[in-house]
Structure 1
Amino acid sequence: MSEFVVTKRRMIEARWNAVVSRADGTAIAETPKLSVTLDGKPVLGVSLKAGGEGDWEMIVPVPAEAVSDGIRTIIVQDSVTDESLASFSLLSGEALDEDLRAEVDLLRQELDMLKRAFRRHCVEST
């Protein structure tokens, strides 16, 4: 289980803003080790800077390749535990009947993450 909690603040000017805090409420002394991915590839330009009360301010720029027809999901994960901490989806193009497609896309991303973690576990345990 991750020691971090990511709380969305807002999305403005193609930047997703969030606060990273420790689950137990204590201050975070060092920069949290987080990864941000879109379709399994790292999102570039993510910034983390120390905020007030031991929290960290996170800014994730929305990459241009995320803006296309359909649903695209960006996932924030703990780099140590590979646990998904937050995500946000972009919906564009043709109007979709249901929001369920975003959930299916997120489940696919999480399944890929679990497969990688399981394979790594199998390699490390032999």
Structure 2
Amino acid sequence: MSKMKLTKTRLQGAVWEGLLWADDAEPVVEVMYMQRPIKDVQLQSTQTAGEYALRISLPHQMMSDGVHTALITDGAAGNILERITVMAGDALAEDIRAEMDLLRAELDLLKQAFRRHCVETQ
């Protein structure tokens, strides 16, 4: 049984990229979204032994309102290596990160108003 480790390097333009370390000479990686395999998966060895660059073009259906998850698994053992989660649209309305961003923006407005008030009352 081989050991595999996957680390995300970036997500840009609907393309997920990561580095995979594997004991096997040729690891097998599967990516599933909505119980269907994602076909556009590229796995290339790097100059470092046992290291591979993984590139996944995410399907356009993932770029829509809601929360969407794709699973990257070890094709031989079936272990989950990583989850790709995309959240967009109305699903973010209740998300705590969106709430924190809104609170920060409101706090900035309050700071500006307070500073303006202090300058005007001197």
Alignment of 1:91 with 2:87, yes or no, is yes
**Equivalents in 1 of 2:84, 2:93: separation in Å?**
17
Cα offset for 1:14? 1.3
What are structure 1's unaligned runs of at least 5 residues?
Answer: 100-126
Which AA in structure 1 matches 2:70?
I
Alignment of 1:46 with 2:41, yes or no, is yes
Cα offset for 1:82? 1.0
CA RMSD of aligned residues (A): 1.7
Cα offset for 1:2? 5.5
- Number of positions where the alignment pairs a residue of Structure 1 with one of Structure 2: 94
**Equivalents in 2 of 1:2, 1:97: separation in Å?**
41
CA deviations over 1:69-119 (Å, ceiling 9, x no partner): 1100011001111110001111111123136xxxxxxxxxxxxxxxxxxxx
Runs of 4 or more consecutive aligned structure 1 residues displaced over 2 Å after TM superposition: none
Alignment of 1:4 with 2:1, yes or no, is no
The SS at the match of 1:52 is: coil
**Correspondence 1:65-104 to 2 at 5 A:** 65-94=61-90, 95-98=92-95
Structure exhibiting the larger radius of gyration computed from Cα positions: 2
Which AA in structure 1 matches 2:94?
D
Which AA in structure 1 matches 2:89?
G
Q: TM-score, normalised by structure 1?
A: 0.68
What are structure 2's unaligned runs of at least 5 residues?
Answer: 97-122
Percent identical: 23
Which AA in structure 1 matches 2:48?
E
